[in-house]
Chains A and B, each alone.
Chain A
Amino acid sequence: MKETRTEQAPPRKNVPLLKRKRFIFVGAIVLIAIAFVAYIGFTKFATYDITVSQFVAQSGSYAGKQVRVVGEVVPGSVNQDSQNFTLSFIMADGNTSLPVVYQGVVPDTFKEGTDIVAEGKSDQQGVFHASQLITKCPSKYEPSS
């Protein structure tokens, strides 16, 4: 095996240009790959955060689309049918409100009067079917008030 110890090898003068070309080539491929994936991501997997009032105002354009609606759980509106794993409540943002139905395990941090994010779609009757409830859990980095 004719291994030359590379540490002693003198720098070759013709390499940089070749290397630079290869570097640019690989870099371009990588950037294009990232851009492609990001494009696919934004067109296919993105859900937009909107408030209840935005959602209700443009319910036509959001019909059948996966969205994330942000709002407050109206106190007294929560109705939990635990037999069927169904939770129904009203989400509000100012004066606009939206009935929401959710099936599944209710997160521990779900409470009346708190802000939540409901991800899902609305049906023709205007009821929002949430597939996921994101509650804001009191974090460890909460400033004490």
Chain B
Amino acid sequence: MITKKRGAAGQGSWWAGAPGLFYLIALVLAPLVVIVIYSFLSRAKLGVGVKWEFSIAPYVELFYSESLSGERSFDPTYLQIFGNSFLYALITAGVCLLLSIPIAMWIATRPADRRTTLIFLVTIPFWTSLLIRTYAFIIILNDNGPINGFLGAIGAISMPIPMLYTPFATVVGLVYAFLPFMILPIYASAERFDFRLAEAAYDLGAAKWTVLRRIVLPAIRPGIIAGLVLVFIPALGSFLAPELLGGGKTSMIANVIAAQFGASRNWPFGAALSVMVLVITLLVLLVFAVLARRMSRTSGRSSWEVLL
């Protein structure tokens, strides 16, 4: 077998990739480097900006709090917020998954021309900003909103159910924001699924749930993994839903980071929190990558292909 090294043909013309390289360095790498550097500096006097003095205090602050007398004690506050964010991201990814599988399968089983329309409909929310759409949920979920109004009108409730500014509202907002990112990759897998395989499974004596579990799910697994990555990671760093719908009661890590650069005026600590989010994200990606590789060894197609 003859193998040819990729890129051999392009040797000597590295500058062809220069614009892309410039873009990566200027817009992706440079801000990250700034954040990492800031996280090892000291707090400026007035809290705006940083003092150029090396310090690991921001990282210590993640785990310990200092009392007025200068005594350090273990403080799980920030770990809890990380845990909280992780939990919200997990719930969001889980709910999105449960909703997306039937939706994606349903779309994939429609006639070809209807499928295009339906997928187009899925992408409609992207037409307006997430901020505006999240505000819309304030109207929908508040005590005088349509849901409480309807339930009150049919006499199901006498007092409005408090939904806005609860963890529930946060989850609703997160699921709403990220659902298309789960539907699209699962649909991409489901659309390629050979439904004759399902017929074969029925023919061999499998009832509906068994066909779903043993034949359909393994086939759309690459799409599921891709969807989980696309939902879980951005959900982990969400800012809008917890801020606007959670009413500050359900802090997620992005809200804490925003506060460090704003009201709390502790830029190095905000940077250290950001670095932590980055590390967690990379770890999660690593886990998914390992999972995906194991999958692709069994199903022949990788999740990354679905993502691309």
Decide whether A and B are members of one complex.
Answer: no
Hey, which bits of chain B sit against chain A, CB under 8 A? none
Which residues of A pack against B, CB within 8 Å?
A: none
